Structure 1
Amino acid sequence: MREGRPRPNPTVVVDENAEPVDRLRLMSAWSVAALALIASGAVLFIMRDLFLPIMTAFVVGVMLSPVAKALEERGVPRVASAALIVLITALMIILTVALIAAPIADLADKLPNIGAKLQTFEAPFAFWRRIEASIGIEPGAAHLSLPEPSIAWVPTTIGYISPPLTGFLYFLVVLLLFISWWPDFRRQLVMTFASRESRLRVLKILNEVEASLATYLLTVACINVAVGVAAGLIAALTGLPFPIGFGTLAATLNFIPIVGPVAMIVVLAAVGVVTGTTLWSGMLPAALFMLVVFLEGQFITPAIIGRRLEINALAVLLMLMFWTWMWGPMGAFLSSPLLIVGLVLRDHLYPESRS
């Protein structure tokens, strides 16, 4: 009988190399995650012409979904409310284009006056030539000539406008379909999860994303309307034509951080130069609007959005830089909404990291 023979006692051998192995596995997991993130970013950058209208439609659709829901509660069918929202969006853009068409036409009519006003710079150029001569630098034989206005840029501009116009039409179609389909998508996404706890968490995430984006849109829209009113007042007080058009353009462009205000400053400078009595008086509207943009961008918007939505200013800046580099001006427009979505996901999936 071997029953009395002592059996070997199995013991768990703790290998002193176990900690390095676990560390290696952790490094491997992080490496795979980093490679997946880089690959995803490369795909988003390469296929930006496809993803940009879709992503914009999704973000704007979630922002406007409370409006569609309110219309639906008042008896308007979901498809009809979606069509109405898309129609109003398109009409607002068409109205903006119509309002700025008159200043652009007036600017084109007065382009020949630019050459005469630019002669103001002849005195600084003559002074610089005298300095060169005094230190022994031989001036060039050719006299410095100022550039003459030209319309050679028109065909190239049309070539640049055509792809964004196609993307805009694509955006409207996707926006219509997304707003119409959003309730069903929410329901299907929630029902994908088996447990009741997971369904409740997903439902809370979707509700908070929707509410946060709607709050962001309302807040930014109010700020931009105030900027538009300021631009209109500046245009009226400095004697620019069509102040309503300039105010509408400023409010619309201000939805695109950094790029939009800079474009508006350039427009005000160009129109001011051709309509003002002198070059320096023509630059006054652009200088005043630059002051408004500085106050709004450095103090008003960060204080309101940061306090109301609890967004870190550094995070906003980094997201703005990244998405502007990734997708251009529309990426800049989407940077803050995408940051809001990311913060909502973090707060619900990792509540312990909430500060």
Structure 2
Amino acid sequence: MSERSEQSPAQKSWPVVGIFLIMFISGLAFSRDFVLPVLLALLLALVFRPVRTGLNRVGIPHALAAFAITGTLLVGLFSSAYVLSGPVERWIEDAPRIMARVERKIDALRDSVDAVAEAADRIDEMARRAESGSSDSTPRLEVEAQESSSIVTKVLTTTPVIVGQLMFTLVLLYFLLASGDLFYRRVVQITPNFRDKRRAMQIATDIERRLSRYLSTITLINALLGISVGVMAWLIGLPDPILFGLMAFGFNFIPYVGAIAGTVITFLIGFISFDQVSFAFLGAGLYFMLTSIEGQLVTPLAVGRSLKLNPVVVFLSVAFWAWLWSVVGMIIAVPVLVVLRVFCEHIPALENLGQFLISADQGAIRDAEAEEREFRV
């Protein structure tokens, strides 16, 4: 009886941890409209802090450097929106004609399917006569088209919210960058002893270094991928190659899901645009090939071993943040994992969790290094 009643502190803390996680996730979901832009601003501040530091070294003050960075981001966002507005407006205006063309192509496919079904019925009828069996199978193809007005209404209702969150993110980013090293000074001030101060500074510096390296490298790779996809779309005759390039650039920030979504959209647009379905498969295949080369060869070589994460954990993280915060959640899923991994490397209590975050090859390398250290001892 005494053995059951006596529990270790770790066993007693598990229910508290479980309740905390449930409340924490519920709080994130409830406060998404506020927490999401704040988190984005913090991540962007960590990414652009080296840029602001470089501008400070050439004599530009904190406020002016922060204004230059946020202004450049704002111009880039408005430029992208301006480039996208033309093709999107044209696609919306041509929606009735596009839907009519889709219906004609589906009718053609339906005729082919009906011909195959009719042949199958004849074969079944012959089989029933020969074996006195019965079989009745008639494939049906049903297609439901949504009206373009509902899409326009949804875009008009969600655009002000998105623009407001973007402006809030940029304003907060400006204040974070303009504050200089205030964050680091406050971290040093609130930690109780020198050991904790040193660890906190190491964590903050490591997070800044890794996030800057990861996001800058991924942004460059995605830009090159967008150019490659745009050239591919232009060569095979897809409409609006610039739109395809921007789509590939944005989608590739989302691991796994972005490549699949881009491939599907490329096929659908090719199906609408080309007279032959084979060209639609060609465009989708080339898009998938380019993203596969990027994901399997270019990114692993460019990112390096120190940022490799467990693919299963990455996929689960993308799914979790997509469920919690939709598309933007999928974009920040990997940066959040990078930050969590840094904490796991510097805090001994989180070391076991850190083992789940690293990739298999890096885990094998770490095990080999640990065995070598034990052998030397």
- Mapped to 2, the partners of 1:25 and 1:253 lie a distance apart of 45
- Counterpart in the other structure of 2:238: 240
Corresponding pairs, count: 337
Q: 2:181 aligns with which of 177, 180, 183?
A: 183
Structure ID, larger Rg? 1
Within 5 A, what are the aligned runs for 1:267-278?
267-278=265-276
- Counterpart in the other structure of 2:358: none
Q: 1:61 aligns with which of 45, 49, 62?
A: 45
Aligned AA (1:122): R
- Counterpart in the other structure of 1:336: 334
Q: 1:289 aligns with which of 287, 290, 310?
A: 287
In the TM superposition, residue 178 of structure 1 has moved relative to its aligned partner by 2.1
**1:215 and 2:205 correspond:** no
- Mapped to 2, the partners of 1:262 and 1:223 lie a distance apart of 18
For the aligned residues, what is the CA RMSD? 3.1
- Mapped to 1, the partners of 2:102 and 2:38 lie a distance apart of 42
Higher helix share: 2
Q: 2:314 aligns with which of 316, 325, 328?
A: 316
Paired residue secondary structure (1:277): coil
- Counterpart in the other structure of 1:33: 17
Output the TM-score relative to the length of structure 2: 0.78
In the TM superposition, residue 208 of structure 1 has moved relative to its aligned partner by 0.8
- Mapped to 2, the partners of 1:29 and 1:138 lie a distance apart of 59
Q: Which moved more, 1:151-160 or 1:298-307?
A: 298-307
- Counterpart in the other structure of 1:152: 149
In the TM superposition, residue 333 of structure 1 has moved relative to its aligned partner by 1.2
Q: Decide whether the 8 Å contact of 1:100 with 1:249 is kept in 2.
A: no
Output the TM-score relative to the length of structure 1: 0.82
**Deviation string, structure 1 residues 160-193 (Cα, Å, up to 9, x no partner):** 4343232222222222222223521221111112
Aligned AA (1:38): I
Q: Which moved more, 1:309-318 or 1:338-347?
A: 309-318
- Mapped to 2, the partners of 1:174 and 1:26 lie a distance apart of 39
**1:122 and 2:106 correspond:** no
Within 5 A, what are the aligned runs for 1:127-206?
127=115, 129-130=117-118, 134=122, 150-153=147-150, 154-181=152-179, 183-206=181-204
Paired residue secondary structure (2:238): coil
Q: Decide whether the 8 Å contact of 1:99 with 1:248 is kept in 2.
A: no
Give unmatched runs, 5+ long, in structure 1: 1-15
- Counterpart in the other structure of 2:346: 348
Give unmatched runs, 5+ long, in structure 2: 125-134, 355-365, 367-377
In the TM superposition, residue 220 of structure 1 has moved relative to its aligned partner by 0.9
Distance 1:209 1:227, change over 3 A: same
- Mapped to 2, the partners of 1:129 and 1:288 lie a distance apart of 32
**1:93 and 2:83 correspond:** no
Aligned AA (2:279): S
Q: Decide whether the 8 Å contact of 2:255 with 2:315 is kept in 1.
A: no
- Mapped to 1, the partners of 2:106 and 2:116 lie a distance apart of 16
Aligned AA (1:79): A
- Mapped to 1, the partners of 2:7 and 2:332 lie a distance apart of 37
- Mapped to 2, the partners of 1:332 and 1:149 lie a distance apart of 26
In the TM superposition, residue 218 of structure 1 has moved relative to its aligned partner by 1.6
Paired residue secondary structure (1:174): helix
Aligned AA (2:115): F
Distance 1:299 1:172, change over 3 A: same
**Deviation string, structure 1 residues 203-236 (Cα, Å, up to 9, x no partner):** 1111111001001112211221232122112112
- Mapped to 2, the partners of 1:148 and 1:331 lie a distance apart of 29
Distance 1:270 1:124, change over 3 A: same
- Mapped to 2, the partners of 1:321 and 1:180 lie a distance apart of 35
- Mapped to 1, the partners of 2:347 and 2:208 lie a distance apart of 17
Distance 1:137 1:159, change over 3 A: farther
Q: Decide whether the 8 Å contact of 1:102 with 1:242 is kept in 2.
A: no
- Counterpart in the other structure of 1:48: 32
Distance 1:152 1:64, change over 3 A: same
In the TM superposition, residue 30 of structure 1 has moved relative to its aligned partner by 2.1
